Amino acid sequence: MNSKMMTRRGFLETTAGGLAASALLPASHVRAQLAPTQDGTVRDRLWLFGSPTGSTAPHTGRRTVMSPVEGALYLGIPNIYMNQANAGLEAQIGRFEPPFAQYATALRPFKRVLWGLIGSGGFTTTEERNEGLALILKTPNFVGTHLDDFFTSKPTGKKAILTVDELRRIRDTLKSAGRPLEIYSTYYTSLLDLPLTEYLELLDGVTFWTWKPEDLVNLGPNLAKVKKAAPHLKVILGCYLVDFTKKVSVPVPAMRQQCEFGLEALKQKRIEGMMFLSNGVMDVGFEAAEWTREWIQRVGEMPV
């Protein structure tokens, strides 16, 4: 054996030393790693938008190796949404492969999990939806589903990936669990003026996203429009870390703007939570990722 290789005893000694050292770290640093989930705090309301490992590379032009679980631990947040890759370049690099039950093991430490039945670009199949539903029903910390890119953004013709009846059947299936399970959907600013009432009535909530950083100045009035379109909906504020049009980091001032808006909206009970997209943009050098991590360390234990 190479003398430089670590022996089992050496590994245990190193691990023990690491644990002892962690006890000397500032509490905020430890919290960021272990992500405790005290009820009624900002941290308790934070989510990671989880992408299959590597799948965001076509959108950023940068190699990524961070998994969804690693992304949530990096930010120090307790809730995670697992979103399937699209049918194109994303899936060629990484996707969640059936059987899906194995993914639930790594997700067991998290407080809440949403499993996507419709993925990036509106990708879905009947087989994957059925398997995903079965997983949601039997996994205690799974709290529902999320439908990504569900709406077509077309003013006429087909409005969504599924029909109203198909969405209603998903809702009926979730009701059979005997515990609260919810349906969320991606909701962009481009959807605000479209007639989607028949679909929105079947949702419990939306994740609300502003595509361009320069449009974040309209977060307040746009959130009001969401509430007006469907007053019953819970809203999770979707926060991009990357300007995907330009393939650059969201500027730190814009990142600060959406995070501070989200914090105030949480305190005012105007939103249910905040979601950060995604693990696949956190290990590639975008400055908004590290800024967001530090922001969460600062505000995570605030009561809301």
pLDDT (tens digit per residue) in 45-77: 999 999 999 999 999 999 999 999 999 999 999
pLDDT of 37: 76
Residues 269-293 have pLDDT tens digits of: 999 999 999 999 999 999 999 999 9
Residue 3 has, within 13 A of its CA and on its CB side, a CA count of 0
End-to-end CA distance of the chain: 55
Mean pLDDT for the stretch of residues 140-148? 98
* Prior bond of 99 cis (ω within 30°): yes
Residues 234-273: b if buried by 16+ CB within 10 A, e if exposed: ebbbbbbbbbeeeeebbbeebbbbbbebbbebbeeebbbb
Do residues 223 and 265 make contact, with C-beta atoms less than 8 angstroms apart?
yes
DSSP letter for 250, please: P
Each residue's pLDDT tens digit, 4-40? 333 333 433 333 333 333 333 343 333 334 446 799 9
Q: Which residues contact 182 (CB under 8 A, 6 or more apart)?
A: 143, 144, 145, 174, 204, 205, 234
Q: What pLDDT score was predicted for residue 291?
A: 98
Domains of the chain by start residue, with CATH: 36-299 (3.20.20.60)
- Which 3 state secondary structure label does DSSP give 117? strand
Mean pLDDT (whole number) for 223-251 = 96
How far is 222 from 236, CA to CA, in rounded Å?
Answer: 13
What integer pLDDT is reported at residue 36 of this predicted model?
60
pLDDT tens by residue, 173-189: 999 999 999 999 999 99
The whole-number pLDDT of residue 56 equals: 98
Q: Do the strands 273-277 and 242-243 form a parallel or antiparallel pair, or are they unpaired?
A: unpaired
What is the arithmetic mean of pLDDT over 85-102?
Answer: 97
Q: Residue 18 has what pLDDT? A: 36
